[in-house]
Amino acid sequence: MVCADSFARIYGVYRAMQGELAYIFEFKKFLRKIFCIRTPAVILTLEKIYTNIGIISNQFDVKPGNSIYLTRVPVGLNISNETIGSVIDCLGEIKKESNTSRSYKFVKSNVPLDTKAIGIIGRSPINEPLSTGFAVIDTITPIGMGQRQLFIGDKGTGKTETAVSSILNQRERGDVFCIYVAIGQRTNDVVKFSKKFLSSDFELISNIASSVADTCTKQYLSPYTGCTIGETFAKAGAKNLIVYDDLTIHANAYRQMSLLLRKPGGREAFPGDVFYLHARLLERAGKFSARYDNGSLTALPLIETQLGDVSSFIPTNVISITDGQCFFDAKLFKDSTRPAVNLEYSVSRVGANAQLEILRELSKGLKKRLAEFRHHAKYIHFMHELAASTQNTIYTGLQTIKFLNQDLYEDSTNQKFQSFLIYFILNRDILKIKNVKSFKKDLLSKFRQSNIY
């Protein structure tokens, strides 16, 4: 056995399977007693005379001469009532207990992490909306149940906060099971979001946490753990929302694994199968047919860019896999636009089919107004030289953007109120309103008191 950097090369192992769960045993003697330490691992590659394995546990002391036990089953996890609402790792071991006391029908044991996606016969068209609570996203780039919508942008542009707010917004529905997968995030951020989820009134949240201190094998397996939980619930007829935060770190962890295992590197030193790495993960999301009780798995993968460059290897891969993207602009974020979604580069290819019909019609007028504003916005520094109609277009566009701004974790709205708000923006003189934030707050409170909401 040769071990380094949470990987080991094992000699003398026969009939191993790729993706199989294995255990490395070490026997220690203390006070005339013999103790056995068991370290979980996964079979990664099979060579002619040796086998490469990845060690999952952070606390490992693997040495030459240790024994290895093959379980003859693929890496999997047990899904139980404790999984719901808890913070777990990639093998389903609970790090922090949940407060939920409900009993659910989707309870399974030894569910494999890497399975084949459901075929086209087992799927159905996307026709049900998933409300994020943000009017600009639900109107311009709507998301449907079973859609794969990419959140892409530079670091610090509010991608994670928007995705977490979308999870917390599902409390109003009460029937969407949410999964947040933290991949290689800072420990402080993992703890912060875990406390936010556990302190919320919404119990249908699971948090799969792998921090930057975890092994790259653990970071590699974490997204598949979350996807397996969501897919299991979806096959039982539940509606699910999963957030992968983020797949750039996942690809970097896989690149580190591949280089240590001496796989040949390609573009940006990524291995040749890095596209398949994310394709087989995201293809498992979708809207399923009556055979699976019309369940759905909606995926919100996050990708980090460098200086807004979406033409690099991993962003282009994930853009080609997903059904649309929301591009978060650093310039808009600095201008206090929340969420900082650049509507010029954002698109949703299938979400419009799931929108309310009235909101779909109103969004056409909103897109037209914002397009006119973007066309004239480059002349904003020469405002005094422009015609009165052009000035009115610019002022109206700026006021419209103020109406679409929303604070993160607050002001979550459904599509009925968003339809009312867009109708008000398009058919009333909004330039007369001075304090937009307080006006929207009063409007929302009155709307919630009515029977329409």
Hey, which residues are catalytic here?
Answer: 349
Backbone φ and ψ for 29, nearest 5 degrees, come out as -105, 130
Which residues make Cβ contacts (< 8 Å) with residue 304, sequence separation at least 6? 152, 153, 154, 155, 159, 246, 248, 249
Cα–Cα distance measured from residue 147 to residue 287, given in angstroms and rounded to the nearest whole number: 8
Counts for the chain of helices (H) and strands (E), in that order: 12, 18
DSSP 181-215: EEEEE-HHHHHHHHHHHHHSS---EEEEEEETTS-
Pair 216, 257: CB distance under 8 Å: yes
Cα–Cα distance measured from residue 6 to residue 58, given in angstroms and rounded to the nearest whole number: 8
Q: How many CB atoms lie within 10 A of CB 381?
A: 7
Cis peptide, bond prior to residue 271, ω within 30 of zero: no
3-state helix, strand, coil in the chain (%, to 5): 40, 25, 35
3-state class of 161 per DSSP?
helix
Residue whose tokens read 């030894």: 110
The two beta strands, 87-88 and 205-211, are parallel
